[in-house]
Structure 1
Amino acid sequence: MTAPAIEEHVTALASALRGPARVRDRMVREARDGLLDAADALAAEGLPGDEAARLAVRDFGAVEEIVPDFQRELAVAQARRTAGTVALVVPFLVACWTMVGDPGPGTASLVAGMLAVHAGGVAVVTAVLAAAALAATGTVARRLPDPDRLPELVAWTGTTAGAALGVGALAVTVSSLLAADWRLAALTGILTLVSHARVAASARACRTCARLAP
């Protein structure tokens, strides 16, 4: 059966949720299916279809009442996505940075080298934290409650990783102008900039989810 009351309810729920689109759509679809099943059961008892749908919606709960539970799950899902991005991208880029080589003597070279070393150190730390976050929410830990404030921790870990990649991109760009193999350095700089944008966007989404989750 279809019912305006149910469709309106799930549409409002979908609009109120923030998080990975695939996970959000799955949750909304499951909520809709549950409401339809409840309405069908009430209709089988003799209630008119529209009334059964309205009663199913009432029993399910108002949007503002059920959003916090949904949003908590979405926040963890976004945290896993951000942590996975950081844990996958950052080690690869740090390895690429080590392949650029020494740009040679000079003040600019020294500054670029120092920036790369510091950015690399910060990036490695964020990758380790991201891997720990994945472990804390992975299959082995499914039976345990998620650590408090995990989405917020991952959000700021991703933000820090994004900043480190931005600094690293600057350092590699300077190196590309000075290095003998400038093509490799330039390619690494482009990869770093693209990865910086991806990590920063994921971290921004994670901060939004963490802020909305109770």
Structure 2
Amino acid sequence: MSDPVEDYLSSLAAALQGPKRTKARMVAEARGDLNDAVSERTRAGLSYEHAAEQAVREFGTAAELVGSWQRELTIAQARHTARAVALTVPFVIVCWTLLQRADDSFWHLPRAAQHLAIVSAAAAVLAAVTLAATGTLSRWFPTPDRLPLTIAWAGTAASMSMAIATLALALSAALGTDWVLLTFACVLAAASHALVAGSARSCRRCARLITDL
């Protein structure tokens, strides 16, 4: 026989998108509240099944909770993406600077890749703004509705510039003399791309969900 509480929590978790730890914490808190409600009713003489059904019914339908919970998860995902951008982009920019000083062949890289490094820098600035707007400033000002989608696309743009930079650095490593430093920068850019691209993709998905609510 299925458990009404676990069935309810499973449907709720399936409807939510966002950082795994945050979602797991929210579902665990809901499980704790429901278990307390069920225990209170069983002590009053109800069977577990009836107590669980009653507790779930009074807790609210999954559809009713998804709206507010998804907004919280979307903000959490936006912060996750902003942190990923803020932490990785500066390292990539430092690599470009080091390469500029270490090897003249750096300037043989496509100009487009150098311009895309500026895009990454702009995304890092926006990431810092996002962290502030969803952190300390959120105590006094509401988080703009479009901010999660904005940082999602900024992260996407930054990840694309990292991908192009990775290809350019790989080519330079193959043709240049200081291939050790170039290879290190290439690996760092590739890892940064993977981290930011995945987080930005999840952020876009979350932002679309709250738009549809």
Please state how far the C-alpha of 1:178 moved relative to its aligned partner: 3.8
| Structure 1 range deviating more: 203-212 or 43-52 | 43-52
Is 1:26 matched up with 2:16? no
Equivalent residue number for residue 145 of structure 2? 148
SS at match of 1:174: helix
Equivalent residue number for residue 83 of structure 1? 82
Distance 1:65 1:138 in 2: 26
Distance 2:160 2:66 in 1: 32
Percent sequence identity is 45
Q: Deviations over 1:38-96 (max 9, x none)?
A: 22233344433321211110111222221122111111111100100000100111101
Distance 1:98 1:113, change over 3 A: farther
* Unaligned residue ranges in structure 1 (runs of 5+): none
SS at match of 2:17: coil
Q: Is the 8 A contact 1:16 1:67 kept in 2?
A: yes
Q: Is the 8 A contact 2:79 2:131 kept in 1?
A: yes
Q: Is the 8 A contact 1:24 1:74 kept in 2?
A: yes
- 1:23-102 matched pairs, under 5 angstroms: 23-101=22-100
Equivalent residue number for residue 196 of structure 1? 193
Distance 1:48 1:144 in 2: 47
Distance 1:43 1:150 in 2: 45
SS at match of 1:28: helix
Please state how far the C-alpha of 1:172 moved relative to its aligned partner: 1.8
Please state how far the C-alpha of 1:132 moved relative to its aligned partner: 0.5
Distance 2:129 2:175 in 1: 37
Q: Deviations over 1:146-192 (max 9, x none)?
A: 22122111111110110111121122223223433121012101111
Amino acid in structure 2 at the alignment position of 1:10 = L
Distance 1:156 1:64 in 2: 28
Q: Is the 8 A contact 1:84 1:134 kept in 2?
A: yes
Equivalent residue number for residue 10 of structure 2? 11
SS at match of 2:177: coil
Distance 1:205 1:6 in 2: 28
SS at match of 1:141: helix
| Structure 1 range deviating more: 3-12 or 195-204 | 3-12
Q: Is the 8 A contact 1:97 1:172 kept in 2?
A: no
Distance 2:46 2:171 in 1: 73
Distance 1:144 1:119 in 2: 32
* Unaligned residue ranges in structure 2 (runs of 5+): none
Equivalent residue number for residue 173 of structure 1? 170
Distance 1:163 1:82 in 2: 14
SS at match of 1:47: coil
| Number of equivalences | 209
TM-score normalised by the chain length of structure 1: 0.89
Q: Is the 8 A contact 2:92 2:189 kept in 1?
A: yes
Q: CA RMSD in A?
A: 2.0
Please state how far the C-alpha of 1:143 moved relative to its aligned partner: 4.9
Q: Is the 8 A contact 1:80 1:137 kept in 2?
A: yes
